[in-house]
Structure 1
Amino acid sequence: MADPAGGPGAMAQPSVLLTKELAPQTVPASDLPMKVYEVALNTGTDSSSGLATAGFRIAKYLPTEWHLNNSELYQKAFTSCDQAERDRAAAKDLAEYAAAAAQRAQQDSTAAVGQRLEDIHFWKSQLQNEIEELDAETCLLAAQKLRLERALDATEVPYTIATDNLQCRERRQAPDLVCDEVEKELLKEAELIRSIQELLKRTLIQARNQMRINREHKEVCEIDWSDKVETYNIDDKCGRYSNQSTNIQFHPTSVKFEESASTPETWAKFSHDNIYRAEREKLASINLRDLIDNILHDTSEDMRKQCAAVNEAFAKHCEELHDTKHKLEHHLKNTLKEIGYQEANIAALKQAIKDKEAPMKVAQTRLYDRSFRPNVDLCRDDAQFRLVSEVEELTESIKSLKKKLLESEQSLRNLEDTRMNLEKEIAVKTNSIFIDKQKCMAHRTRYPVVFKLAGY
């Protein structure tokens, strides 16, 4: 049997009848299974069984088979073309549908991005307003804190004045070194200033802590606002993309959801909670500012009222001191006058006693001379009795005068002691007046005014 591929007499395969390749189709064409033909031997009357033509009669198709093969090819070509036409129509419809779906999806995505931009802009605006308001509130609180610091510094002067007044009044002399109304008011003033200083220090610490909290919440809102700005710019850029954009490209790995991504609810709640906490601290800051204002007003008024009470006590005590001093000076004047009178009286008594010496000598000399009368002439006559009576009278008078002189001298000594005591008491009162009026009250003229005590 000859090789089918060789010689002009070889039987041709069905594929060699096609003159060109089929047109490309949507569905890839697959090779048809090869049909196996069995060659019929020419054994009829027309056949030649000669050996000379044996090579030309082997493996050839019959004409009917040739026509049948062509008909089948025609049918297959027609079917393929019809299928290709239907595939082209389906492909066109699919392409149009895909284009419309892609356009709708892109429009929906653009609208969703636009809605998202509105949401981002809303929260960004809310955060920006909150940041501005919290910053303004922090500045106002800082101003109140500055007032607290100034008011605390201003209390040092009143406290120094009060303690200096107490120390100065310790230099008073007895009996003026007493715990009088002025000292009670000064002690009350010093205690009031100390308590006010402690209150201002505690309030100052509270203001500093509130300012720190305000800045922390402002920083949180600023970070959130910054994220919103960046997100807004990204989404705005995404919203501007179109099919004609030149900076678009494939990113296959971006079609996924991050595990750490938030949901719209948690995203909105995050900003809402930040704003809520900032609002809460802003309200606390406002309340603290009102509290500081009330504290500064009340403390300054209390200090000025106590200062007025101390000044009034000083003025009243100085008036009492001046009145007492005037009375003491009046008594001293009378005492000095009485001392002069008593000294003159003592001199007069001494002179009176001295004046009695001559009459006493005369009377005693008479009695002495009459005692030398002789014999019966030594008579106790009336003259004798009168002389004796005169001497007794003179003796009694001298005795009374000396007694009165002693009393007058003792009275003079008492007057001198009284004078010394009065002069000493006047010196004490003068010292007390100098301390209270020249030292203490003069120092109190530097007491700060209410405006300065309020921290302005």
Structure 2
Amino acid sequence: EPAPQAVPASDLPAKVCEVALNTGPDSSSGLATAGFRTAKYLPHEWHRSNSRLFHEAFTGCEEAEQGRAEAKELAKHAAANAQRAQQDSTAALSRRLQDIHFRKAELQKEIEDLDAETSLLAAQKLRLERALDATEVPYAIATDNLQCRERRQPPDLVSDEVERELLKEAELIRNIQELLKRTLMQAGNQIRLNRDHKEVCETDWSDKIEAFNTDDKCGRYSNQSTNIQFHAGSVKFEESASTPETWAKFSRDNICRAEREKLASTNLRALIDNILHDVSEDLRMQCAVVNEAFAKHCEELDDTKHKLEHHLEKILKEIGEQEANIAALKQAIKDKEAPMKVAQTRLYDRSFRPNVELCRDEAQFRSISEVEGLTESIESLKKKLLESEQSLRNLEDTRMNLEKEIAVKTNSIFIARQKCMAHRTRYPVVLKLAGYQ
């Protein structure tokens, strides 16, 4: 029990207070009891004081008990709230981990697809480079054929179908080379764009890996963790922080851009396939056209050469016969010398007949007629001899022209077959022109 406290003097009844206050040296009774009655309480005052103290104690106990109950309830409620808040935070982190994992998986798939697409496009680019290198051989063949054909001799130095097709082939190859160079440049740019967007996606993926690991670590924290501590300034939002919408939009935009580049790369690969297919087919078709023109030209040359040789044989035979004819004419003219001498001698001797014997008889007329006939025959034979000799000279000129033309045709055939067509056997196959080898 707590010690009773003294009641203030102002709380005492007036009379008692007066007696107590009026005790003094002049009072007879107060002298004897002055030491015992000073500051004393009355019994009912003592009881009232005790009752008040009991009431205060009871009230204090009730208030303390109620306070303990409230504190216990508050602590329980706070613990429940803290546990629920921690569970909600952990659940939110778990959902966030799922979102990050989903975006991370999308980015990873996009990175793998872009990497695979870039590898495929790089393979197509290599095909383009091989095809461009392969066009050097056809171009060298076409230009070499044109240069070789410049060594043809007139009149075979003609702008024929073969030359037109060779010029067309050289022009086709130059156009194809320009097309392949432009496509190579486009493929290189697309590969660079693919790698740039892949790098962007990889950066985003790496950030999400780090964020996933951070949130996973945070989700594993519990009240029993040993590596938790107070961080007074952690409850704040960074000015540069994103919102869930901007966070999701950032990754979606990266994926969309990567998808666009992947689609562009796929379309470019298909275009390269078509270009290489068309290029190889066009080159082989033009090569076949040129080869066919060469074969046809060689056939014409062979036919012409055979005809020339046939005519040369006839000319040689005719020259031989003409030479024999000339010899015969000369012999015929020579053979007429003796009869002419006989006839002229007869006339000459008969001109010495004496007097009346110098008669214009039938013998005289026959001799004169014989001389005139022989003279006319000799003149005709000489004229025919001149014509035959001129014909022989003409035949000799024709022979020389034929031999020269046969030599020209032989040279043309040699250029066409041995120089041009033999060189064209090195023409690349379709697979090489398409960049597969």
TM score, norm. by length of structure 2:
0.91
Match of 1:425 among 405, 412, 427: 405
Deviation string for 1:270-308 (max 9, x for gaps)? 111111111121111111111111111111111111111
Match of 1:446 among 420, 423, 426: 426
Given the alignment of the two structures, is residue 48 of structure 1 paired with residue 24 of structure 2, yes or no? yes
Match of 1:403 among 377, 383, 387: 383
Report the Cα offset of residue 36 of structure 1: 9.2
Given the alignment of the two structures, is residue 176 of structure 1 paired with residue 152 of structure 2, yes or no? no
Other-structure match for 2:281: 301
Report the Cα offset of residue 208 of structure 1: 1.0
Other-structure match for 2:217: 237
**Structure 1 residues 46 and 261, CA, compared in 2 at 3 Å: closer, same or farther?**
closer
Q: How far apart, in 1, do the equivalents of 2:223 and 2:80 lie?
A: 13
Deviation string for 1:402-430 (max 9, x for gaps)? 11111011001100110010000000000
Match of 1:287 among 250, 267, 275: 267
Amino acid at match of 1:186: L
**Structure 1 residues 80 and 395, CA, compared in 2 at 3 Å: closer, same or farther?**
same
Q: How far apart, in 2, do the equivalents of 1:270 and 1:42 lie?
A: 94
Match of 2:39 among 53, 57, 61: 61
Q: Is the 8 A contact 1:43 1:49 kept in 2?
A: no
Q: Is the 8 A contact 1:141 1:211 kept in 2?
A: yes
Given the alignment of the two structures, is residue 270 of structure 1 paired with residue 250 of structure 2, yes or no? yes
Match of 1:142 among 101, 116, 122: 122
**Structure 1 residues 89 and 35, CA, compared in 2 at 3 Å: closer, same or farther?**
farther
Deviation string for 1:16-39 (max 9, x for gaps)? 977xxxxxxxxxxxxxxx989699
Deviation string for 1:314-351 (max 9, x for gaps)? 11110110010000001011101111111111111111
Other-structure match for 1:23: none
Q: How far apart, in 1, do the equivalents of 2:154 and 2:356 lie?
A: 78
Amino acid at match of 1:157: V
Q: How far apart, in 1, do the equivalents of 2:26 and 2:428 lie?
A: 152
Q: Is the 8 A contact 2:125 2:188 kept in 1?
A: yes
| Aligned pairs, number | 425
Q: How far apart, in 2, do the equivalents of 1:207 and 1:409 lie?
A: 79
Q: Is the 8 A contact 1:329 1:426 kept in 2?
A: yes
Shifted more, 421-430 versus 201-210: the winner is 201-210
Root-mean-square deviation (CA), in Å?
Answer: 2.6
Given the alignment of the two structures, is residue 165 of structure 1 paired with residue 165 of structure 2, yes or no? no
Q: Is the 8 A contact 1:363 1:391 kept in 2?
A: yes
Unpaired runs of 5+ residues, structure 2, are none
Q: How far apart, in 2, do the equivalents of 1:61 and 1:81 lie?
A: 31
Report the Cα offset of residue 357 of structure 1: 1.2
Report the Cα offset of residue 72 of structure 1: 5.1
TM score, norm. by length of structure 1:
0.87
Other-structure match for 1:27: none
Match of 1:189 among 162, 169, 173: 169
Match of 2:337 among 357, 363, 382: 357
Report the Cα offset of residue 257 of structure 1: 1.2
Other-structure match for 1:30: none
Given the alignment of the two structures, is residue 318 of structure 1 paired with residue 294 of structure 2, yes or no? no
**Structure 1 residues 36 and 260, CA, compared in 2 at 3 Å: closer, same or farther?**
farther
Aligned partner of residue 446 in structure 1, secondary structure: coil
**Structure 1 residues 368 and 240, CA, compared in 2 at 3 Å: closer, same or farther?**
same
**Structure 1 residues 139 and 35, CA, compared in 2 at 3 Å: closer, same or farther?**
farther
**Structure 1 residues 69 and 49, CA, compared in 2 at 3 Å: closer, same or farther?**
farther
Amino acid at match of 1:440: C
Question: Which is richer in helix?
Answer: 2
Unpaired runs of 5+ residues, structure 1, are 1-14, 19-33
**Structure 1 residues 35 and 198, CA, compared in 2 at 3 Å: closer, same or farther?**
farther
Amino acid at match of 1:61: A
Q: How far apart, in 1, do the equivalents of 2:122 and 2:21 lie?
A: 129
Q: How far apart, in 2, do the equivalents of 1:377 and 1:46 lie?
A: 248
Given the alignment of the two structures, is residue 331 of structure 1 paired with residue 307 of structure 2, yes or no? no
Report the Cα offset of residue 356 of structure 1: 1.2
Amino acid at match of 1:310: V
**Identity across aligned pairs (percent)?**
77
Report the Cα offset of residue 191 of structure 1: 1.1
Report the Cα offset of residue 313 of structure 1: 0.7
Q: How far apart, in 1, do the equivalents of 2:155 and 2:3 lie?
A: 151
Aligned partner of residue 261 in structure 1, secondary structure: coil
**Structure 1 residues 368 and 206, CA, compared in 2 at 3 Å: closer, same or farther?**
same
Report the Cα offset of residue 77 of structure 1: 4.2
Other-structure match for 1:113: 93
Q: Is the 8 A contact 1:363 1:387 kept in 2?
A: yes
Q: How far apart, in 2, do the equivalents of 1:160 and 1:437 lie?
A: 17
Amino acid at match of 1:399: E
Match of 2:191 among 190, 211, 219: 211
Q: Is the 8 A contact 1:42 1:48 kept in 2?
A: no
Amino acid at match of 2:216: D
**Structure 1 residues 247 and 363, CA, compared in 2 at 3 Å: closer, same or farther?**
same
Other-structure match for 1:22: none
